[in-house]
């Protein structure tokens, strides 16, 4: 079988949530948007719910609907995009909690679903989603009179602990929310690691659950093993793949493996990337194509049936470094062609 195997360790995921929960001062929720960061929101959230998570965060109402179907009644599902046109039926029927981002969403929600739960999102300097201080000042008393279940904002630079933006946003959030009765939330994974002053009542564990930075202590969650389809021996001067970007300088053995950018293996990582055969590192040879990658296995006594791209030797952030991106992109790019195996949970 030429299908690569993506193994997702739900016990490791749960351990990462427990570790972040132990660092948090209040309740620890879980962010499972983008299909659980590419790992399958239903399986991920189900494992976390069994661990005790009661509050989940998604990007869209449609994601919330799928999550409610998977989890059933009980857990709170907060929708970052708020109450958009067309969302009313999903919010009402599936008991979703829109995080209201502006006065238009506020009016839409109270007119369409009076008394239905909602949260509020404030912009403390990221300039992405939420009410800016002037809009909040005008709407604050009206919004708080409706009893929001959560008031939140989002840190722009929490993965850099000493960035001055962190303290600036913390102070802005305090200025905008001190004295309110509603629970408050500012910290995702990076904010949890910044310390208790950023935690408030609810934290939103995200990428750290899945083994990504900035949570350096995270247990690895994902392993990706790619089958070897064919091996060939190259003489000096022969090339591999599109564009002849790899040319053998010595007798070289190349393994062709069954994955590529069609599976979310980012093409940009090719020049620096490698795979593991046990403890031996085998560099990628030539360009990553849609379905296939050439790997230099000259140093192996015997070529195994599979090579490991993700696992205990190299994390999603290792791959991200090769591609000049972030671990989030590597995770969420993982394709649907893999055989997915879930451990534990």
Give the span between the Cα atoms of 281 and 276, in whole angstroms.
5
Determine which one of 5, 33, 147, 342 is catalytic: 33
DSSP H or E segment with residue 139? helix 133-145
Structure tokens at 58: 């998604």
Using CA atoms in the order 334, 336, 341, 345, what is the torsion angle rounded to 10 degrees? Answer: 70
Is 33 a catalytic site residue?
yes
Determine which one of 198, 242, 328, 338 is catalytic: 242
- The string of DSSP codes covering 83-121 is S-TT-HHHHHHTT-EEEE-SHHHHHHHHHHSTT---EEE
* Residue 236, Cβ density class (10 Å: 0-12 exposed, 13-18 middle, ≥19 buried): exposed
Is 242 a catalytic site residue?
yes
DSSP state at residue 166: H
DSSP H or E segment with residue 15? helix 10-23
* Residue 305, Cβ density class (10 Å: 0-12 exposed, 13-18 middle, ≥19 buried): exposed
* Exposed e or buried b per residue across 5-15, where buried means at least 16 C-beta atoms within 10 angstroms of its C-beta: ebbbbbebbbb
Give the span between the Cα atoms of 37 and 191, in whole angstroms.
18
Pairing of strands 239-240, 246-247: antiparallel
The set of catalytic residues is: 33, 242
């Amino acid at each position: 079988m030429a299908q690569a195997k993506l193994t997702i360790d739900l016990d490791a995921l749960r351990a990462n949530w427990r570790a972040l929960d132990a660092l948090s001062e209040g309740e620890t929720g879980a962010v499972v948007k983008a299909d659980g960061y590419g790992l399958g929101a239903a399986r991920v959230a189900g494992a976390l719910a069994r661990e005790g998570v009661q509050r989940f965060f998604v990007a869209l109402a449609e994601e919330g609907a799928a999550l409610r179907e998977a989890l059933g009644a009980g857990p709170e599902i907060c929708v970052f995009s708020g109450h958009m046109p067309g969302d009313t039926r999903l919010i009402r029927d599936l008991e979703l909690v829109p995080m209201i981002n502006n006065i238009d969403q506020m009016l839409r929600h109270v007119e369409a679903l009076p008394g239905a739960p909602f949260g509020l999102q404030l912009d403390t300097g990221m300039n992405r989603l939420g009410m800016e201080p002037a809009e909040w000042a005008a709407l604050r008393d009206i919004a708080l009179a409706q009893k929001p279940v959560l008031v939140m904002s989002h840190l722009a630079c929490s993965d850099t602990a000493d960035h001055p933006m962190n303290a600036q946003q913390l102070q802005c959030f305090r200025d905008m929310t001190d004295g309110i009765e509603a629970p408050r939330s500012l910290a995702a994974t990076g904010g949890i690691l910044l310390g208790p002053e950023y935690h408030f009542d609810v934290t939103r564990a995200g990428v750290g659950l899945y083994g990504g930075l900035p949570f350096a202590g995270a247990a690895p969650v994902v392993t990706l093993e790619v089958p070897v389809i064919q091996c060939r021996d190259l003489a000096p001067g022969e090339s591999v793949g599109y564009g002849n970007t790899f040319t053998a300088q010595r007798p070289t053995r190349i393994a062709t493996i069954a994955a590529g950018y069609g599976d979310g293996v980012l093409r940009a990582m090719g020049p620096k990337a490698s795979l593991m055969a046990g403890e031996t590192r085998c560099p990628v040879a030539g360009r990553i194509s849609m379905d296939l990658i050439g790997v230099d296995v000259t140093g192996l006594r015997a070529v195994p049936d599979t090579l490991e791209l993700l696992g205990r030797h190299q994390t999603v952030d290792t791959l991200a470094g090769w591609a000049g991106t972030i671990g989030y992109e590597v995770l969420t790019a993982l394709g649907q062609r893999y055989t997915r195996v879930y451990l534990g949970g």
